[in-house]
Amino acid sequence: MDIKAIYEAVIRGDRTAVEAGVTKALEEGTEPDVILNEGLIKAMEEVGQRFESGDFFVPGMLIAARAMKTGVAILGPLLVNSGVKPIGKVVIGTVAGDLHDIGKNLVGLMLEGAGFEVVDLGTDVSSERFVAAVQDEKPGLLGLSALLTTTMSGMTEVIQKLTENKLRDMVKVFIGGAPVTQTFADQIGADAYADDAAAASRKAKELLSGS
């Protein structure tokens, strides 16, 4: 199976072709992470660039995102090994005002694959809800996602609210999303930043082991 065909099907927003392409590639022995990175994620990067240059509009982006999700749904179980005892608990969510969830979902999947128990709060999560989840779930790690420059301040707010509620020392905060950088993470006092799902899972393990 040509990975390029999967890539093109995502850009076209052709869910049926994505499903067929991913299934066929797996049958032919292509590694799930190759399909994910070279087919699905690369296609979404291209969609983002086309949107920026005015060749793509929101509906096109949405249809492409749905097609990508179809592919991720097939790959998901293969990226996660089940039946392992959790090595730690992570609460994860996309910050207030932000509806992007593909990257956050991938991070969640990779963390599950690495043996974490993942509590996913979804998208458009207020800082109050993050704080309540830290109180209730008592996770070792809190993962915050933001895809818009306008919603990144939600991350700052979550960290401030954790401090106000005397919870900041109880949980390590790691952050990510396209506009997020290490510099931003340092500025707001996050414990770690990762630029993709594999790095997120590596960082999560480091944070838990205290290294």
Report the distance separating Cα 32 and Cα 199, nearest Å: 17
DSSP secondary structure code for residue 85 in this structure: P
Report the distance separating Cα 191 and Cα 78, nearest Å: 29
Report the distance separating Cα 133 and Cα 69, nearest Å: 26
Interface with ligand B12, residue 184, by CB under 6 A: no
Interface with ligand B12, residue 175, by CB under 6 A: yes
Cβ-contact 196, 165 below 8 angstroms: no
Which amino acid makes up residue 44?
M
Report the distance separating Cα 203 and Cα 191, nearest Å: 10
Closest to ligand B12 by CB, 29 or 183: 183
Candidate list 10, 106, 121, 134; residue touching ligand B12; CB under 6 A = 106
**Site mask, ligand B12, residues 66-105, x = CB under 6 A?**
-------------------------------xxxxxxxx-
Candidate list 115, 196, 202, 205; residue touching ligand B12; CB under 6 A = 196
List residues near ligand B12 by CB under 6 A: 41, 44-45, 47-48, 51-52, 58, 61-62, 65, 97-104, 106-107, 143-145, 147-150, 174-179, 194-197, 200
